Structure 1
């Protein structure tokens, strides 16, 4: 497990998604290290998706 502070590329995004998906099979307890890591990963994923997918939608809308 390496320290992730942000997602800068599609590869970073895929790596973080892969790690986060492992927690869905065995959800960690909130308040423990694993639970904190899971929450941080989900926050990074949400921030990236809002940034990337909202930008893509806005760009598509501007082209029409």
Structure 2
């Protein structure tokens, strides 16, 4: 597998900087709520079962 890093240079002028600052200031806050208690899982079978359960609900 090839590993390459990509780098991008962003150049801002006053107009784009002002637009970015305004977008950040006016963006909506997202509240994250946990539906169940978090637990530390070390058993790989249980990890796979939990992930299957999560991805089953996404579809």
The question of a shared fold, defined as TM-score above 0.5 by the shorter chain, is answered with no
* Structure that is richer in helix per residue: 1
| TM-score, with structure 1 as normaliser | 0.28
| TM-score, with structure 2 as normaliser | 0.29
Larger radius of gyration: 2
Which structure is richer in relative contact order (CA contacts within 8 A, separation 6 or more)?
A: 1
